[in-house]
Chain A
Amino acid sequence: MALAALPLIIFTVIWGVVGIFLPFVVPKGPNRGIIQCILMLTAACCWLFWLCCYLAQMNPLIGPALNKNSILIIAKEWGNNIEDN
């Protein structure tokens, strides 16, 4: 199980605030219902979209196949030294 708690909590809280908390503080007016609806749907869509992407990578069944050039560039640019032995 490779579900890191921190990102899950952070993004759930962020979208939770947008989708659950903000609808309560929308100012009264003729468009209140519409704004609440917009906020909740936005939060639901964006959260689910993030979650799916996160879960899809959580337990990868295959690894990335890289060609030689890419490996060398990654090693150089992302500070991932290749051991000599």
Chain B
Amino acid sequence: MGSLFRSEEMTLCQLFLQSEAAYACVSELGELGLVQFRDLNPDVNAFQRKFVNEVRRCDEMERKLRYLEKEIKKDGIPMLDTGESPEAPQPREMIDLEATFEKLENELREVNQNAEALKRNFLELTELKHILRKTQVFFDEAAPTLTLTRSRYQQMADSQKDEEQVQLLGEEGIRATQQGQNLKLGFVAGVILRERLPAFERMLWRACRGNVFLRQAMIESPLEDPSNGDQVFKSVFIIFFQGDQLKTRVKKICEGFRATLYPCPEAPADRREMAMGVMTRIEDLNTVLGQTQDHRHRVLVAAAKNLKNWFVKVRKIKAIYHTLNLFNLDVTQKCLIAECWVPVLDTETIQLALRRGTERSGSSVPPILNRMQTFENPPTYNRTNKFTKAFQALIDAYGVANYREMNPSPYTIITFPFLFAVMFGDLGHGSIMMLFGLWMILKEKPLAAKKSDNEIWNIFFGGRYIIFLMGAFSMYTGLIYNDIFSKSLNIFGSQWRIVYNTSTVMDNKVLQLDPGSDAYLQYPYPFGMDPIWQVASANKIIFQNAYKMKISIIFGVVHMIFGVSLSLLNHRYFRNRVSILFEFIPQMIFLIFLFFYMVLLMFIKWFKYSASNVAPNSSACAPSILITFINMVLFKAPNEPTKNCEAYMYAGEGFFEKLLVIIAVLCIPWMLLGKPIHIMRERKHQNLKPIEPVENGDAEVGLNAQEHGGEAAAAHGHDNEELSEVFIHQAIHTIEYVLGSVSHTASYLRLWALSLAHAQLAEVLWNMVLAIPLKKSGFSPAILLYLVFGAWAALTIGILVLMEGLSAFLHTLRLHWVEFQSKFYVGAGYAFQPFSFEAILEAGGQAATEE
């Protein structure tokens, strides 16, 4: 039987591994990914376990690799990702790896340090070069003629735009220069960040009371800050002052503003010489710097080739030691003991993997895999493929199935897209969705290889098969609804004819065709809705509501009956005869006698009443199904029929309906009391004969418990429960079911509501947007049409396909989780999480990208 219908049979195994072989065996099992290990030392904290040291070494290696990765990314070197996964290396190779990483890291750190020192040096020299170049101008200008200085001061003062200061400065300036002929002017030159300059200037002015003279010039090209690699703009300045006191003050201020001062010789000849020296040194430095960068690049390129590979290796080693930490040491210290959950069908493969591991490690003693008895609930393991995975994820999002419980996902594969399509039915929108899904399926491999971080895209891509099926079914339902972008197709020719003559047509604004006359050809449109309804703007909705409400209820009731039938399979599998007798049968009767009967009434109405029929079966006599149903449940006689009509749809209806309701109501106490009373009597029975062996007999316990672990657990469950609890439990269950049947049936009306909303929205969009230019003729509406089509297409995709699709998706999800699964699904199990390198590497890769 297909494995997806129920979860895999699992068994708890004990695994004895030779100490030397343990590493290789666990590595093989990790490649296989079919074994879930249990923690045998839950009390031991993480730091006291056996292989803490190894795990720590792996962590250290991983840190180094991350450092390398960061440096590689900084330089923009492409990393080779072959996508292959190398086997976990032998433990002794770990030392080699460690040494390699250590060497690489040290080399890189050294290179980086050197590069930084060189860059700092380079910066200093460049700044000095600029200073020498710029100050040359200042010194040239400083030929101390009075008028020149004056005018120069005037310029500066102008720029400051402060009249009072101009005066002051001018006088002082004059004085300074006059004295300057006697006293020697001192100066300092340096470089400062450009944005600090105004504050620096102000501070100098204030602190030295205007007794210093500052000239500055911008360095046009940005300089690189060696500490963080940023590009910064700086300015050269030179300050002239007089006397040592001012000198110290100026130097202090420079220090405070982090300005770098450089020695600058006074004599022009010295300066020229110095400039030459600086130039040659810069050139030398450039060559050295280039070589350093080359070296770093080479190291990184070599590392980039292997980086992914190393990551995989290190992560695998770490995972293996983590797993080994879960194991128990044998008393003799020669053997590791593990406990694990294993799918029964795969024991053979696991044995093989263990043997391979032993051979690889060269150990002579084979590992031992022992099946164990347990009363614990095994984990739920559904073997999925890429197609069923997404559907299984939808189910698991609600709750992981109990062990060996009926799994709803095989049925969901079709019912989910189908119910979605009932709400989303439109050939146009459906084909857009289908094509999108198809594109993702066809481009599956290249798209999957990209590994995008975009969450929304990943959701779409993960659900590509769901999207494809939803689109395909929407196309079918769209054909049946005869809706394509709110218009319809007339494939087979409408079954309605216009029988009115010209004058009638011309005189009346709205004309209704009479279905009893020749206007209706008496045979329905063979496939889907007659296209005439799409243009019947006056009463299209009335007709379609009647139809869509009915199909919502019909499909809802069928869906629920299907759900209840699945519970029968569950009860039979777990040999739960009591539940079949006191739950399944009354539930089925209740559902069929009330709600399926209503569905039958709908069919009867479709067949029996027609506009072309005479009195008792004419269209005027057609009863409302809803009113009939309400009257039936309330035991009310139908309203007095109008002339010539009959109160009931068929003879004996009144009696038959009363009978159905009475039986259905009797099902309630049956559900409510049956099971608890049965359990009560059974217990009394057991108390009378206390020494009798367990049902199965001692010898068989082992076998049966293995095959039907779930059943045994279920039976045990009832024994421990208080009887009052059993009653309360059953009461809740019954009330939930009875009220649920009513509310769930009504809940399926959302199929009608959403389908109506979707069709109406599409029609409004067409009429309000695209129809406007289409209704006009001429040249300018054509251009308008071109633009409006863009808007219409964008709204169609954005609102009708995406948003409406999302809303229909959520409603479908609810219909499955609540209305369908509540009939049979418990979903209180826990998922099987095998030790698998694949999963670990995927998780590791994702964590790395998030950082």
Contact = CB atoms under 8 A, between A and B. Distances in A.
A is bound by B? yes
Contact of A33 (B5, B415, B418, B525): B5
A55 B603 contact: yes
Contacts of B520: 60, 63
Contact of B523 (A4, A31, A73): A4
Contact of B509 (A7, A10, A68): A68
B555 interface: yes
A47 B515 CA distance: 26
Given A32-B2, A58-B606, A65 B413 contact: no
Contacts of B510: 65-68
A2 B524 contact: yes
A55 B523 CA distance: 10
A64 B603 CA distance: 22
Contacts of B515: 59-63
A50 B528 CA distance: 7
A75 interface: yes
Contact of A48 (B413, B532, B555, B619): B555
A46 to B, nearest CB: 6
Contacts of A6: 526
Given A56-B606, A61-B611, A34 B509 contact: no
Interface residues of A, number: 50
B536 interface: yes
A73 B3 CA distance: 57
A68 B530 CA distance: 19
B519 interface: yes
A55 B493 CA distance: 18
B498 A67 contact: no
Given A61-B611, A65-B510, A30 B498 contact: no
B4 A64 contact: no
A34 to B, nearest CB: 5
Interface string B480-522: 1100000000100111111011100110111111110001101
Contacts of B385: 31
A34 B2 CA distance: 6
B535 A49 contact: no
A21 interface: no
A1 B3 CA distance: 47
B4 A78 contact: no
Contacts of A7: 526-527
Contacts of A53: 480-481, 528-529, 547, 551
B543 A64 contact: yes
A72 interface: yes
Nearest to B523: A4
Nearest to A6: B526
B542 interface: yes
A82 interface: yes
B543 A62 contact: yes
B501 A64 contact: no
Nearest to A73: B535
A63 B526 contact: no
B538 A65 contact: yes
A83 B502 contact: yes
A56 to B, nearest CB: 4
Contacts of B529: 53, 57
B547 A56 contact: yes
Interface residues on B, range: 35 or more
Contacts of B622: 61
B554 interface: yes
Nearest to A32: B2
A71 interface: yes
Interface in B630-651: none
B500 A48 contact: no
Given A54-B524, A65-B511, A60 B611 contact: yes
Given A78-B494, A80-B497, A62 B388 contact: no
Contacts of A80: 497-498
Contacts of B523: 2, 4
A9 to B, nearest CB: 11
Contact of B512 (A4, A63, A68): A63
B737 interface: no
A42 B508 CA distance: 46
B509 to A, nearest CB: 6
A17 B608 CA distance: 30
A68 B543 contact: no
A1 B611 CA distance: 11
Interface in A34-49: 34, 37-38, 41-42, 45-46, 48-49
A83 B502 CA distance: 6
A22 interface: no
A62 B539 contact: yes
B527 A65 contact: no
B535 A65 contact: no
A42 B525 contact: no
Contact of A34 (B410, B476, B543): B410
Contact of A72 (B505, B508, B538): B505
A55 B606 contact: yes
Contact of A59 (B3, B410, B530, B610): B610
Given A33-B5, A78-B493, A64 B505 contact: no
A6 B522 CA distance: 14
A50 B524 contact: no
A82 B505 contact: yes
A52 B551 contact: yes
A36 to B, nearest CB: 8
Nearest to A72: B505
Contact of B611 (A59, A75, A83, A84): A59
B137 interface: no
A52 B550 contact: yes
Contacts of A41: 411, 413-415, 418
A74 interface: yes
A71 B139 CA distance: 99
A74 B530 CA distance: 13
B414 A62 contact: no
Nearest to A83: B501
A47 to B, nearest CB: 11
B7 interface: no
A14 to B, nearest CB: 11
Contacts of B498: 66, 71, 74-75, 80, 82
B477 interface: yes
B249 interface: no
Interface string B533-559: 101111110110011001100110010
B1 interface: yes
A66 B522 contact: no
B837 interface: no
A82 B539 contact: no
Nearest to A49: B480
A68 B504 CA distance: 10
Interface in B133-171: none
Interface in B590-622: 603, 606-613, 619, 622
A6 B524 CA distance: 11
Given A41-B414, A59-B610, A64 B547 contact: no
Q: Which of A60, A62, A78 has the most CB of B within 10 A?
A: A60
B536 A64 contact: yes
A46 B411 CA distance: 15
Contact of B538 (A2, A67, A83, A84): A67
Contacts of A38: 410, 413-414
B566 to A, nearest CB: 12
Nearest to B480: A53
Which A-B residue pairs are the 4 nearest by beta carbons?
A33-B2, A64-B536, A59-B610, A65-B538
10 contacts: A2-B612, A37-B410, A37-B411, A45-B555, A49-B422, A54-B524, A67-B537, A67-B538, A68-B508, A71-B500
Interface of A: 1-2, 4, 6-7, 10-11, 30-34, 37-38, 41-42, 45-46, 48-50, 52-68, 70-75, 78, 80, 82-85
Given A52-B550, A64-B496, 8 more contacts: A33-B5, A37-B414, A56-B546, A59-B611, A60-B611, A65-B536, A67-B511, A74-B498
